């Protein structure tokens, strides 16, 4: 290992010397080239394997087919947008005509209800995961802080946490669905029931990593700092605000990142299982559709899910960097 890194260091020095580029530039160039080689190899292996897999829905999609399907999905989206615009245009014309004939005429506005497009499904999924994640965070961080501060509370709550932590949130899904439809009765619902079902399911799995990591973080505050707080007789709220939370920030964010990652995974499964709108439903619909394009479209969804998961994690990392006091720490 050590030997390899020496060789690598020498290589960078040599290239930097010959090309006149700074060592950091050479290093990032090197990383870039290696990533590119990795991706190209993956695409090559993918394409050659895909060519050899035949399913009842045709050949397994390779990169080329997936690229075609991306184009198709984009044009689907554009077509749907044109239709929507045309619908509203017709509606406006119709209403204007009626008003011209009879100024007192009752005019009606209808929402366009077309097939949800791929981008629309993405947005639905993102909104759902955000709602579930925020709900869980709002509960989990205060609960974790309380558990970390009070050994008594921790002992009381820990068995419950340990019991529910290993439960797949999908097991909750039927219960959540029934409870939501029984409790959330409204003539003019602000949220769709399917949205609430998915969001609560996501929240149920986002709770535990944040609660547990926050508890650990709060429990491991440096004892000298706690003694400073005791000598100063800081009130509990100030103690939490000035000493506990800044200390526990790295732990809290570890919990939040784990939560968001599992929440995103669970959401897709919940959408498939419950036929709630979102990327999961898109996949399921394509699967049921069973056209020769379906597998390619599913593959697009798979890559999209991965990419969004990656972006969400980067956003959390960025947020941690903004919030954390220790700007020198390396976040990975």
Partner 1 sequence: MNRFLDISSVGIEFNTDSGTFRALDKVNLSIKQGEFVSLIGHSGCGKSTVLNIVAGLLEATEGGVILEGKEVNTPGPDRAVVFQNHALLPWMTVYQNVELAVKQVFKGQKSKSEIHDWIAHNLELVHMSHAIHKMPHEISGGMKQRVGIARCLAMQPKVLLMDEPFGALDALTRAHLQDSLMEIQNDLGNTVIMITHDVDEAVLLSDRIVMMTNGPAASIGEILDVDLPRPRDRLALSESPEFNQIRNRALRFLYEKQKFPGGGSRAKKPRLEAVDGASESKSASAAA
Q: Which is nearer to partner 1, 30 or 242 (CB)?
A: 242
Q: Which is nearer to partner 1, 70 or 228 (CB)?
A: 228
d(CA 79, CA 298): 20
Return the range that interacts with partner 1 (CB under 8 A); candidates 67-75, 144-152, 295-303, 324-332: 324-332
Structure tokens at 165: 């932590």
Q: Which is nearer to partner 1, 161 or 234 (CB)?
A: 234
Q: Which is nearer to partner 1, 178 or 323 (CB)?
A: 323
DSSP category for residue 221: S
Q: Which is nearer to partner 1, 251 or 282 (CB)?
A: 251
Instruction: Name the burial class of residue 206, with classes exposed (0-12), middle (13-18) and buried (19+) by CB atoms within 10 angstroms of its CB.
Output: buried
* Cα distances (Å, whole numbers) of residue 13 to 5, 8, 10, 23, 106: 12, 9, 5, 7, 78
Q: Which is nearer to partner 1, 246 or 309 (CB)?
A: 246
From the CB of 66, what's the least distance to partner 1, in Å? 47
Q: Name the one residue in this structure whose structure tokens are 């069973």.
A: 290
Return the range that interacts with partner 1 (CB under 8 A); candidates 61-69, 81-89, 91-99, 216-224: 216-224
DSSP category for residue 56: T
* Cα distances (Å, whole numbers) of residue 295 to 65, 279, 300: 9, 14, 9
Q: Which is nearer to partner 1, 162 or 241 (CB)?
A: 241
From the CB of 324, what's the least distance to partner 1, in Å? 9
Among 83, 135, 69, CA closest to 282: 69
Return the range that interacts with partner 1 (CB under 8 A); candidates 93-101, 189-197, 309-317, 320-328: 320-328
From the CB of 141, what's the least distance to partner 1, in Å? 18
Query: Is 64:47 a contact under the CB 8 Å cutoff?
Result: yes
Among 263, 318, 221, 246, CA closest to 137: 263
Q: Which residues contact 65 (CB under 8 A, 6 or more apart)?
A: 50, 59, 295, 296, 299
Q: Which is nearer to partner 1, 66 or 244 (CB)?
A: 244
d(CA 177, CA 183): 10
Q: x/- site string to partner 1, residues 80 to 99, per CB under 8 A?
A: --------------------
From the CB of 155, what's the least distance to partner 1, in Å? 18
From the CB of 237, what's the least distance to partner 1, in Å? 13
What is the CB-side half-sphere exposure of residue 299 using CA atoms within 13 A? 20
**Would you mind telling me the total number of residues written for the chain in this entry?**
332
Find the DSSP H helices in 150-244: 151-164, 169-183, 193-219, 223-232, 236-239
From the CB of 171, what's the least distance to partner 1, in Å? 40
From the CB of 152, what's the least distance to partner 1, in Å? 18
Q: Which is nearer to partner 1, 83 or 321 (CB)?
A: 321
**Residue 181 in the binding site for partner 1 (CB under 8 A):** no
**Count of positions on this chain that bind partner 1 (CB under 8 A):** 18
From the CB of 254, what's the least distance to partner 1, in Å? 18
Structure tokens at 194: 């399917």
From the CB of 247, what's the least distance to partner 1, in Å? 8
- Chosen residue from 1, 2, 56, 325 binding partner 1 by CB under 8 A: 325
Among 203, 219, 211, CA closest to 252: 211
Q: Binders of partner 1 among 217-256, rule CB under 8 A? A: 222-225, 227-228, 230-234, 238, 242-243, 246
Which spans of this chain sit near partner 1 (rule: CB under 8 A)? 222-225, 227-228, 230-234, 238, 242-243, 246, 325-326, 328
């Amino acid at each position: 290992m050590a030997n390899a890194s020496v060789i690598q260091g020498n290589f960078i020095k040599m290239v930097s010397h010959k090309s006149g580029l700074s060592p950091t530039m050479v290093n990032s160039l090197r990383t870039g080239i290696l990533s590119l080689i990795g991706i190209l190899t993956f695409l090559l292996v993918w394409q050659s394997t895909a060519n050899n897999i035949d399913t009842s829905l045709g050949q397994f999609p390779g990169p080329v087919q997936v690229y075609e399907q991306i184009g198709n999905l984009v044009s689907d989206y554009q077509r749907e947008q044109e239709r929507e615009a045309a619908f509203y245009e017709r509606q406006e014309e119709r209403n204007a005509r009626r008003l011209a004939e009879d100024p007192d005429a009752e005019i009606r506005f209808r929402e366009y209800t077309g097939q949800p497009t791929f981008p629309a499904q993405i947005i639905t999924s993102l909104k759902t995961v955000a709602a579930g994640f925020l709900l869980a965070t709002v509960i989990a961080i205060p609960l974790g802080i309380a558990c970390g501060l009070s050994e008594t509370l921790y002992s009381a709550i820990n068995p419950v946490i340990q019991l529910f932590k290993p439960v797949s949130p999908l097991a909750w899904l039927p219960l959540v669905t029934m409870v939501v439809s029984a409790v959330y009765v409204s003539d003019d619902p602000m949220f769709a029931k399917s949205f609430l079902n998915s969001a609560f399911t996501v929240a149920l799995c986002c709770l535990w990593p944040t609660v547990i990591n926050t508890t650990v973080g709060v429990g491991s505050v440096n004892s000298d700092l706690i003694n400073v707080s005791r000598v100063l007789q800081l009130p509990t709220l100030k103690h939490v605000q000035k000493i506990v939370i800044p200390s526990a920030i790295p732990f809290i964010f570890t919990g939040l990142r784990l939560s968001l990652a599992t929440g995103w995974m669970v959401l897709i499964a919940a959408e498939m299982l419950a036929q709630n709108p979102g990327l999961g439903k898109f996949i399921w619909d394509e699967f049921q559709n069973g056209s020769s394009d379906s597998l390619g479209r599913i593959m697009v969804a798979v890559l999209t899910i991965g990419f969004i998961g990656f972006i969400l994690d980067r956003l959390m990392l960025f947020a941690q960097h903004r919030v954390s006091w220790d700007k020198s720490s390396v976040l990975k």
